[in-house]
Amino acid sequence: MANDTDTVAFDVIDGIAWVRFNRPDKRNAMSPTLNRAMMEVLDELEFRSDVGVLVLTGEGPAWTAGMDLKEYFRETESEGLKGVRRSQRESYGWWRRLRWYQKPTIAMVNGWCFGGGYGPLFACDLAFAADEAKFGLSEINWGILPGGGATKVAVELLPFRKAMYHALLGEPIDGKTAADWGLVNESLPLAELKDRVTEVAKILRAKNPVALKATKDAIRRVGVMTYDEAEDYLVRAQEAANSFDNDGRKEGIRQFIDEKSYKPGLGAYDK
Ligand code: ACO
């Protein structure tokens, strides 16, 4: 099943939704139109039974060159605060939706990733980059601070000194450096990127989907909690997950203890 709009395209193949920023001529800069289209696409895909994993990537040489300086900034600012707040809601809205998405998500960063692009980068649960990709907090280069969550993403993902250097200098780093710094999980040659992401997506697809959603939310939630708060949250989160999936974990135990058909330390049970 394929779908194309002007600014966002997607295909669903073998349980993986391949969603693409689709303004290659504008280096996939996020315009208000693209932000609205992305929310619609996320909405359409989130609860589809034929979608197990969502991959976010870009058409052409960019993942995304960040916010569209003309359409997102200059044109909405000309409408006054009403226009500015509306375009913020639209962009922050789909990034937030993606952070708490029902399905596991992977950023497949094929090329340029700047500024506002750090919002969806962080929103994706995992991130794989091409060695050839370039990442930058370029805001300082045109005279603003890294807003729209970009500063928060840098501080969440990078050590203090690297976050400060990255934001103050505005120098782009390549995919390998992004992996060394922890912005992405791995970097590999562009020619190998899609195969690796497909491999990871297939591994995720084989796992219990209720447990995946509970786990990804837990990883995002517990960071700001005390140990005791986290312990309590995790007990309740597992009990809530049990009410959606009564049999999954019992089957997981049965296949290991009774059937001896797999080892949980080495892979997933057969769901
Ligand atoms: N906003 C609006 N238009 C953009 C953006 C952007 N963020 N990025 C690229 N474009 C447009 C260019 O204006 C150009 O349009 P035109 O063909 O109508 O002249 C077209 O995309 C191609 O861009 P080039 O600069 O010619 O492409 P090139 O491959 O040489 O360079 C690069 C790519 C490095 C990404 C460059 O376009 C660039 O620096 N873009 C801005 C990156 C940036 O700083 N983004 C803002 C981050 S801050 C934030 O998001 C809040």
Q: Is the per-residue pLDDT at 148 higher than 80?
A: yes
Three-class DSSP category at 256: helix
State the helix-helix crossing angle for 248-257 and 209-222, rounded to 10 degrees: 110
Q: What is the mean pLDDT of residues 113-135?
A: 98
Tell me the whole-structure pTM to 2 decimals: 0.96
57-82 pLDDT per residue, tens = 999 999 999 999 999 999 999 999 99
Q: Check residue 164 and give its pLDDT.
A: 98
Q: Is the per-residue pLDDT at 3 higher than 70?
A: no
Q: How far is residue 188's CA from residue 197's CA, in Å, rounded to a whole number? A: 11
- Nearest-atom index, ligand 1, CA of 148: 51
Phi and psi torsions of 64, nearest 5° = -155, 135
214-256 pLDDT per residue, tens = 999 999 999 999 999 999 999 999 999 999 887 899 999 999 9
Q: Is the per-residue pLDDT at 1 higher than 90?
A: no
H-assigned helices in the chain: 32-45, 75-77, 81-99, 118-123, 139-142, 150-157, 160-169, 175-181, 190-205, 209-222, 227-244, 248-257
The token pair that represents 265 in the structure block: 């330390």
The token pair that represents 21 in the structure block: 């920023």
CA of 59 to the centre of ligand 1 (A): 14
CA of 141 to the centre of ligand 1 (A): 13
Task: Report residues whose beta carbon is within 6 angstroms of any ligand 1 atom.
Answer: 26-27, 29, 61, 65-70, 112, 114-116, 138-139, 148
Q: What is the mean pLDDT of residues 152-167?
A: 98
Q: How many CB atoms lie within 10 A of CB 141?
A: 14
93-119 pLDDT per residue, tens = 999 999 999 999 999 999 999 999 999
Q: Check residue 5 and give its pLDDT.
A: 57
The contacts of residue 162 (CB under 8 Å, 6+ apart) are 181
How many CA atoms are closer than 13 Å to the CA of 66, on its beta-carbon side?
19
- Nearest-atom index, ligand 1, CA of 139: 48
Token look-up 């052409």 returns 60
Interface ipTM above 0.90: yes
Q: Check residue 2 and give its pLDDT.
A: 45
